[in-house]
């Protein structure tokens, strides 16, 4: 795959590092940056033969098969439309749009141009997330009734994130998009999100957008997706998921307390891990940061999808649904009420509702719970099938 990259900053460099992570046959042909000198520096660092400060020139280059967008949120729509006009497959960083309206325009554009639109939601491709999703799909933890995702850190690295007009919001749009899509993958993408309750506030930073938020997303089967996001968490980056099912539980910790700890006085190299606040004391490095954050698996899936002319696991429709959920979160944060998720083009496959069978204790009672007491005695909490009375045996 011959690639163009739009952007030369933090995320574009992460993407470039990942492109040879697994397939090792893809080539960055040209890079775009609004500042030509930045484009040249990137090109020099990654041995890219061409660089430019023109989006049109970049995406229209004759040696480009697909375009990777690593730009600020306010430039995503413009960049996607340029890719579609050039007939190039396009992979866009998260969030797809600043809101669902922008995201839907991008979805319609790639479908009209008949090109692949890949949504670069890296965290659903992390090894732990992929394993968790596969475990859930196998039925190992039963029906998911609650999925919780937390992403917190001291704040983003670039100035545009902190500008509400350019970004579309604060911690919700930046981090909530990760959390929402992780929960969708665990609960099931065919399960329609119906309403959101959200608290958000600007607690620490002198900005117009929110720097902390918590939200509940209710799905049509009653499952709850929960996200916790913060730009004021101290101590690095905290990425965690909890998934509770009727037959089991999954807990993952992706960045802190992962079994890799070290102490250093601070002499030597400066970079430890993304969003690390210090390079001295007890630190928590990540063994293979690019891989642990999902970038390798993500690009493998994206390019394999293009090769095989099929949709990737994460596509522009997913980006649109995520934006729709976040739109409802912003409304709820203001109204302090449950707010409906507005999805005008729902494509989820309707799920047949299966009547749940209660576990019987015997022909007259349901079994609520059984446990073994410290004495070794077994205790049963049961419910009378006729009267509904709760009893102990």
- pLDDT tens string 215-261: 999 999 999 999 999 999 998 889 999 999 999 999 999 887 777 87
**What is the sign, positive or negative, of the torsion defined by CA atoms of 322, 233, 290, 93?**
positive
Residue 170 lies in a domain: yes
Distances (CA, A) of 229 to 93, 130, 213: 19, 22, 5
Residue 207 has pLDDT above 90, yes or no: yes
- Which pLDDT does position 300 carry in this prediction? 92
CA distance 66 to 317: 18
- Which pLDDT does position 256 carry in this prediction? 78
Is the preceding omega at residue 95 within 30 degrees of 0, hence cis?
A: yes
Q: How confident is the model at residue 22 (pLDDT cuts 50, 70, 90)?
A: low
Going by DSSP bridges, is the β-strand pair 238-245/249-253 parallel, antiparallel, or unpaired?
antiparallel
How many percent of the chain have pLDDT more than 90? Answer: 82
Residue 48 has pLDDT above 70, yes or no: yes
CA distance 214 to 227: 6
| Shared domain check, 252 and 139 | yes
Task: Return the CATH number at 40.
Answer: 3.40.50.720
How many percent of the chain have pLDDT more than 70? Answer: 95
The number of distinct structural domains making up the chain is 3
Q: Is the pTM of this model over 0.85?
A: yes
Other CB atoms within 10 A of residue 15 CB: 24
Task: Return the CATH number at 335.
Answer: 3.30.360.10
Which residues make Cβ contacts (< 8 Å) with residue 169, sequence separation at least 6?
Answer: 98, 209, 210, 326, 330
The pLDDT tens digits for 54-89 are: 999 999 999 999 999 999 999 999 999 999 999 999
| Shared domain check, 178 and 327 | yes
Cα 60 to chain centroid, rounded:
29
Helix (H) or strand (E) holding 217: strand 212-219
If you average pLDDT over every residue of the chain, what do you get?
Answer: 93
The tokens describing 149, both together, are 């995702």
| Shared domain check, 138 and 67 | no
Residue 175 lies in a domain: yes
Residue 70 is part of which domain span?
2-121
- Which pLDDT does position 137 carry in this prediction? 96
| Shared domain check, 147 and 81 | no
| Shared domain check, 151 and 283 | yes
| Shared domain check, 243 and 134 | yes
The pLDDT tens digits for 245-302 are: 999 999 999 887 777 877 888 776 666 666 667 777 877 777 788 888 899 999 999 9
Do 67 and 91 contact (CB within 8 A), yes or no? yes
Average pLDDT (351-373) is 85
The pLDDT tens digits for 107-117 are: 999 999 999 99
């Amino acid at each position: 795959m011959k690639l163009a990259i739009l952007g030369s900053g933090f995320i574009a460099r992460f993407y470039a590092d990942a492109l040879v992570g697994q397939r090792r046959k893809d080539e960055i042909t040209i890079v775009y940056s609004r500042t030509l000198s930045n484009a040249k520096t990137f090109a020099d660092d990654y041995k890219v033969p061409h660089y430019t400060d023109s989006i049109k020139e970049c995406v229209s280059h004759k040696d480009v098969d697909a375009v990777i967008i690593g730009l600020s949120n306010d430039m995503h729509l413009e960049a996607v439309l340029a890719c579609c006009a050039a007939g190039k497959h396009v992979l866009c960083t998260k969030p797809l749009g600043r809101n669902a309206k922008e995201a839907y325009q991008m979805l319609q554009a790639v479908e009209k141009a008949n090109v692949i639109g890949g949504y670069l939601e890296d965290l659903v491709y992390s090894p732990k997330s992929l394993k968790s999703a596969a475990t859930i799909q196998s039925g190992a933890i039963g029906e998911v009734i609650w999925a919780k995702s937390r992403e917190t850190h001291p704040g983003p690295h670039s100035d545009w994130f902190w500008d509400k007009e350019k970004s579309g919001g604060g911690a919700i749009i930046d981090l909530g998009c990760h959390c929402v899509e992780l929960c969708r993958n665990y609960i099931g993408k065919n399960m329609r999100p119906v309403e959101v309750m959200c608290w958000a506030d600007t607690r620490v930073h002198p900005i117009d957008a929110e720097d902390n938020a918590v939200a509940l997303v209710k799905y049509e089967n009653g499952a709850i997706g929960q996200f916790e996001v913060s730009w004021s968490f101290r101590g690095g980056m905290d990425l965690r998921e909890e998934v509770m099912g009727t037959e089991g539980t999954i807990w993952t910790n992706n960045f802190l307390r992962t079994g890799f700890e070290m102490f250093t006085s601070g002499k030597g190299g400066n970079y430890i891990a993304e969003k690390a606040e210090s390079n001295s004391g007890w630190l928590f490095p990540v063994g293979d940061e690019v891989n642990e954050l999902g970038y390798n698996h993500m690009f493998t899936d994206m390019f394999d999808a293009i090769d095989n002319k099929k949709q990737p696991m994460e596509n522009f429709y997913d980006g649109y649904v995520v934006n729709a959920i976040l739109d409802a979160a912003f409304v709820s944060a203001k109204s302090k009420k449950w707010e409906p998720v507005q999805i005008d083009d729902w494509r989820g496959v309707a799920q047949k509702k299966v009547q749940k069978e209660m576990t019987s204790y015997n022909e007259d009672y349901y079994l609520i719970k059984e446990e073994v007491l410290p004495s070794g005695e077994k205790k049963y909490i049961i419910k009378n099938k006729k009267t509904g009375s709760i009893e102990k045996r």
